[in-house]
Chain A
Amino acid sequence: MLQSHMKQNLWGYLFIGPFIIGFLAFTIIPIISSLYFSFTSYDLFSPPRWIGLDNFTQMFTEDPRYLHSLKITFIYVFAGVPLRLAFALIVAMLLNTASRAVGLYRTMYYLPSLIGGSVAVAIMWRQIFGDDGIVNLALGFIGIDAVRWFGDPTAALWMLIFLSVWQFGSSMLIFLAGLKSIPQSYYEAASVDGASFFQKFFNITLPMLSPVILFNAIMQTIGAFMTFVPAFIISKGTGGPLDGTLLYSLYLFKQGFEFFHMGYASAMAWIMLIIIAILTSIIFFTSRFWVHYESEGGR
């Protein structure tokens, strides 16, 4: 009996074997080595040298560039994620009003998420935000002076935020699925009672959608914190102007692969992990005040 039970398990292990091997080789082992490297001085070429907590103290006491990159990453996350979610929700609601070509629109709006990290987008962005680009033309039209988007550190960060908002596709799809699962009868009942669009939105859509919002908020926050590609291609890998687009991951990359401070870069990665863990737990903790699960009797 026991033997056949074990055999059953063996089959199971066999099937998940490829994943386990990949997971060990490409995830667990690198994670553990990076933890070790974070306590060392390691330049890729010569063997790592144990230096204890020096990397971590250096980060917070001797490296103004690190603190700066932490700061702009927080701005990027806290400005970018809510904007992106709001935008994704608006588009999802538009698409949810049944139309014949909804499949086509869905694909079109998802497209930026797929090509967002490509060099073509960087070139397009240079055109759009260039001195004579469409953005500056539009600003000029409403009487605002042209902005040097690539030359001003604050403007460059906002340009990155716009780029991230533009890539709302994956959140939008999840919102769309969430919207579709809200029973139509609620809206009908509300209409009968004479509720306005906004009343329906705030009293039915948002509460019913809150678990999906929670999911999206967490995933997008984690993703935003790790943003690398847009900053890299927009600034041509420099993080400039004046470190205005030096997001955390980009600085980590520079430390590791340009200055060969692999130990320092590993330490940075671990701090990022801790920050993401704290942020995620905060979102989870607050979620009990605003997320409603139907299955728990509307709680």
Chain B
Amino acid sequence: MKKSLYLLLGFMTVLILAACGGENGTEETNTDGGTEETGNESGEASGEDVTLRIAWWGEQTRHDSTLEVIKMYEEQNPHVTIEPEYASWEDYWRKLAPQAAANELPDIIAMDLSYLSQYAQNGQLADLTPFLENEIDVSNISEDNVNAGRIDDNLFGFNLGVNAVGFQYNPQKLSEIGYDEIPEGWTWDDFQEMSQAAADAGMYFDNGFQADVFFNYYLRTNGARLYAEDGSGLGYEDDQLFVDFFSMTTEEVEKGATPTPDFLAQLAGPEDDPIIKGEGVGIFQWSNQFVGLEELSGLDFEIAPMPGPTMEEGLFLKPSMFFSVAENSEAKAEAAKFISFFVNNVEANKVILGDRGVPINSEVLEALKSEVSDSQAQVFEYIEWVENNSTPMGPADPAGAGEIIELLTSLSEQMAYGEITPEDAATHFRTQAESILGN
């Protein structure tokens, strides 16, 4: 009797241990490679087997190209195994937060400007400065472009390419509303006039403004910005700027030049968008979305700069995304090497084809010019033009930017539905935003 009891007890212990072990099974390879490595510091690990986890957000085309680059890297570096984890933009951040809390972040993390501070301030990201010129080759990259991922003195994200906003329009539709081209140095007055013409022709002029991006642009043209330089509050004093901008966008909806919000909510996916279906003139969006726009619609588009006045003050080159290395990574040097490959390798970039923004490596950019499609070439051209017609971006977004963006988006939605006046929204935004950024 007693014997069988012990036997059962022993059996159960084994079962429980097996169950616990199973949960860690996937990570074991990871820690194996890692623990040995911490012994000989910044990754003299070439030769030893390493497993890197890498995470990014995006759509199918990006997943495909990134997976291909990973395969190339693994072939050239047989000791490295890379485990990809990818998701859509929303799901990506929901997945990353609990991983951060559990100190389980992937070794290489795609980072966005609006989250960089949040993760950096909380000590989740590694400073990449020591890897520059060693594991990460920066010989063909301008200092400005490297420093875009710097917060204080630490390089928390490595820039993968640059972006700029613009008006991506369908010239055929533009001529249908009676204009041959977007006039050089066009202003918001021109914009309102042209959108009226579109509305009169029973056509949409655009599909609205992503609130945080374009309000920030508008503020910059007026010598302010969305966030204060030190991130402790809002970067503009005069609420009239808020009222002016959002009165204008609300008016666009009222006059029928921009689809109503309930119409937009009803769309099943981007392929149903009126602009994509050729029922409108253009879209205000980031330059790296241009290629997708042309592909999805099968139409030809052109890129024009934003409406002014003082457009140069508002326009800036934005690092479209970063690769960061997690502080909890045990193979930081190996991670850095992969980033260097991703940014500098010409063959790899022939696969990526500027999907993460226009390459910052001048050699890669030259090599790509002959490779890329016409639409990508247009993007390169536009970015080159912006380089000479813009102002520096300024400090990265503060921690809490994600919440501010949600607040502003929700308010702009309420304004478009006519639930709240721009005046009330301005006051509300200020109180709420200051309290989010204040603590």
Contact = CB atoms under 8 A, between A and B. Distances in A.
A46 B419 CA distance: 38
A150 to B, nearest CB: 5
Nearest to A253: B94
A241 interface: yes
Contacts of B124: 45
Contacts, number: 77
Contacts of A44: 97-98, 100-101
Interface stretch (A13-21, A108-116, A273-281): A13-21
A148 B98 contact: no
A271 interface: no
Interface in A119-177: 123, 126-127, 130-131, 148-152
B225 to A, nearest CB: 22
A288 interface: no
Interface residues of B, number: 36
B413 interface: yes
A242 B417 contact: yes
A243 B410 contact: yes
B261 interface: yes
B265 A240 contact: yes
A236 B90 contact: yes
B428 to A, nearest CB: 10
A113 to B, nearest CB: 25
Interface stretch (B5-13, B46-54, B318-326, B369-377): B5-13
B261 A45 contact: no
A237 interface: yes
Contacts of A152: 262
Contacts of B118: 260
Contact of B413 (A10, A14, A148, A241): A241
Interface string B77-102: 00000000000001101100110110
B40 interface: no
B414 interface: yes
B12 A18 contact: yes
A240 B413 contact: yes
B12 A10 contact: no
Interface string B390-431: 000000000000110010001001100101000000000000
A258 B402 contact: yes
Interface in B98-143: 98, 100-101, 118-119, 122-124
Contacts of B260: 151
B12 A14 contact: yes
A258 B9 contact: no
A148 B266 contact: yes
Given A45-B122, A259-B402, A131 B266 contact: yes
A264 to B, nearest CB: 12
Contacts of A10: 5
A140 to B, nearest CB: 16
Contact of B94 (A123, A126, A240, A258): A258
B100 A241 contact: no
A151 B97 contact: no
Contacts of B91: 237
Of the candidates B90, B101, B263, B414, the one having the most CB atoms from chain A within 10 angstroms of its own CB is: B101
Interface string A24-49: 00000000000000000101111000
A26 to B, nearest CB: 12
B16 A21 contact: yes
B271 to A, nearest CB: 12
B97 A257 contact: yes
B266 A257 contact: no
Contact of A151 (B15, B265, B406): B265
A127 B265 CA distance: 13
A236 B266 CA distance: 12
Given A14-B12, A44-B101, A148 B263 contact: yes
A257 B268 contact: no
Contacts of A131: 266
A11 interface: yes
A204 to B, nearest CB: 47
B265 A148 contact: yes
A46 B262 contact: no
Contact of B90 (A127, A130, A237): A237
Nearest to A131: B266
Contacts of B93: 258
Nearest to B13: A17
Contacts of A150: 262, 265-266
A236 B97 CA distance: 18
Contact of B406 (A18, A45, A126, A258): A258
12 contacts: A10-B5, A14-B9, A45-B100, A45-B123, A127-B268, A148-B265, A151-B260, A151-B261, A237-B91, A237-B94, A240-B265, A242-B417
Interface of A: 7, 10-11, 14, 17-18, 21, 41, 43-46, 123, 126-127, 130-131, 148-152, 236-237, 240-243, 257-260
Given A123-B268, A237-B90, 17 more contacts: A11-B5, A17-B12, A18-B15, A45-B119, A45-B123, A149-B266, A151-B260, A151-B261, A151-B263, A152-B262, A237-B91, A240-B413, A241-B413, A242-B417, A258-B94, A259-B403, A259-B406
